Amino acid sequence: MLKPMLIGIAGGTGSGKSTFAEGLRALFPDKISIVSFDNYYRPQDHMTMEQRQKTNYDCPDALDTDLLINHLRALRAGEPVRVPKYDFRIHTRSGEDTLLTPTPVILVDGILAFHDERLREMFDIKIYVDADADERILRRLRRDVTERGRDIDGVIAQYVGTVKIMHGIYVEPTKKYADLIVNGGRNKTALDVVAARIVKKIEQNEE
């Protein structure tokens, strides 16, 4: 069995990373799995809810990158892993996990997917999904209110207080590492380009 192809998908909050990843998986539903970097936020059970709400989630220290790297190495070696599940409603891990077995292609989706050099070097393809800042904040607002139980004022305060600033410091600069910069998550041309590479990988695995 050949090593799985690892594809990193980075970009700012609300840029369309998950949409792009899901678009690829829809083309190869049995061949692709998605690992969300968001599930690797560090557990915060030792903190009060107020402290959790004030945590800066857009800096590298908030994520357990070492655990993600270890999991990707295991998957490349043909071993299953248990991916933690992060609960954004309580700002910590839920205590549950998901068993993930290796597939021919593994997508890693996260705002800081290209920040750590060790992680970058693991990716066969690095894709940065770009989008206008106004579009990104509107998408984040909709997502956080409808899916994560947040209130509008809280989302706006977090965006202005940390998200926007951290984007400029940590996320935007990693665009230079991308092999492909995509305008939005529903870019069919970009999906077709990456899909062609995936087809070759799948064919190699089946030879």
Q: Which domains does the chain have, with CATH numbers?
A: 5-206 (3.40.50.300)
pLDDT above 90: residue 59: yes
pLDDT above 70: residue 98: yes
What are the DSSP calls for 99-153, one per residue?
Answer: EE---SEEEEE-TTTTTSHHHHTT-SEEEEEE--HHHHHHHHHHHHHHTS---HH
Q: What is the pLDDT of residue 84?
A: 97
Least confident of 26-40, 88-102, 128-142, 168-182: 128-142
| Average pLDDT value for residue range 69-77 | 97
Residues sharing a CB contact under 8 Å with residue 56, sequence separation 6 or more, in sequence order: 62, 162, 166
pLDDT above 70: residue 26: yes
| Average pLDDT value for residue range 91-104 | 93
Residues sharing a CB contact under 8 Å with residue 103, sequence separation 6 or more, in sequence order: 4, 30, 31, 32, 33
